[in-house]
Homo-oligomer: A and B are copies of this chain.
Amino acid sequence: MSSSENIADHVDGSKNLAHVLGFMESSAKLVHDALNSQFASRDDRAEGWQRLNSAMRYSLLQEGAKRFRPSLALMVADALGESQDLVLPYAGAVECVHTYSLIHDDLPSMDNDDFRRGQPTCHKKFDEATAILAGDALLTDAFAWLGEAYAKRPEVAVRAIVELSRAAGSHGMVGGQAIDLRAQRGDATEIEELRLMHQLKTGALIRAAAVGSAIICEATEDQIEDLSDYSAALGLAFQVADDLLDFDQARPEAGSYCAMLGPEKTREFLFELTDEALEAIIDWDERAETLRSLVLYNRDRSR
């Protein structure tokens, strides 16, 4: 039994699963409505402009979007005793950045995916040029949204913008995607490179969802640090749980933890990361219960 289960035992697992799922469902609705109103359909003066708006809305408002990152941002507000409304624009901006990254990752020259969430990908539904522009626009408009929503608290706004842009740019998500692209072509992906790739490609934005939300809530530096540790471990734990779920012994996928470590050691790693996440917020009060439940939910979804 790993040490993580010792900490994990303090949390009541059965009621937490329902709680997390309920929280994520209601956050998903909040976020959907915020995105729907921020990116309203428009009767623009030119056909191409309307098409761009349609493509942005198509990818942004798709059914089946889990809204994991914005939900995490709302959970952080909850844990800090702040209203979800306060962080909703930040949560929405993070989801715009996530959606743009999915649109661009799906492109023919990248992962060349025809479907996402059971629907045609943006470039399949529209066309490649429109998909590239829809991604570009979502990324850019996210920063305008942030700046406008938090203009009255400019210190907070700037810090959150720096957090999000650093997490999304060449030192974060885009850097991770660049590593991933080349690693797929190469053969020997080292475990360290794999970890770095995941930290940048998915971890950085998950961390920014939590840390940026804490900045908006004007959390203390200690709280921000705790949340940074928590979300860094959670982000990697999510990836590892995905690897376990997708693992097929007969066809081990290159560049997955399971293929490198085997399923048993991968599960151990998941327990360690779960422990790390729980430990980061061990001193937090009961308002952090949803954050705790989330890591346990993640640990158990791959069983």
Report yes or no: A137 in contact with B170, Cβ–Cβ below 8 A.
Answer: yes
Copies in the complex: 2
Report yes or no: A165 in contact with B179, Cβ–Cβ below 8 A.
Answer: no
Report yes or no: B178 in contact with A48, Cβ–Cβ below 8 A.
Answer: yes
For A140, the closest partner residue in chain B by CB is: B169
Report yes or no: A47 in contact with B182, Cβ–Cβ below 8 A.
Answer: yes
Report yes or no: A165 in contact with B147, Cβ–Cβ below 8 A.
Answer: yes
Report yes or no: A175 in contact with B52, Cβ–Cβ below 8 A.
Answer: yes
Interface stretch of the complex, out of A84-92, A153-161, A256-264: A153-161
A53 CB-CB contact with B under 8 Å: yes
CB contacts (< 8 Å) of A132 on chain B: these are: 104, 107, 109-110, 132
Report yes or no: A109 in contact with B137, Cβ–Cβ below 8 A.
Answer: no
A128 CB-CB contact with B under 8 Å: yes
- The number of chain A residues with a CB under 8 A from chain B is 60
Report yes or no: B48 in contact with A182, Cβ–Cβ below 8 A.
Answer: yes
Interface residues, chain A, with chain B CB atoms under 8 Å away: 44-49, 51-53, 56, 100, 104, 107, 109-110, 127-130, 132-133, 135-137, 139-141, 143-144, 147-148, 150-151, 154-155, 157-159, 161-162, 165-166, 168-171, 174-175, 177-183, 186, 192-193, 196-197
Report 10 cross-chain contacts, Cβ distance below 8 Å, ordered by A residue: A46-B183, A52-B174, A53-B170, A107-B132, A109-B128, A110-B129, A129-B181, A141-B170, A144-B166, A147-B158
Known: A46-B179, A46-B182. 18 other contacts (CB 8 A): A44-B175, A45-B196, A46-B183, A48-B178, A48-B181, A48-B182, A52-B175, A110-B132, A133-B178, A133-B181, A140-B168, A143-B165, A144-B162, A144-B165, A147-B161, A151-B159, A154-B155, A158-B161
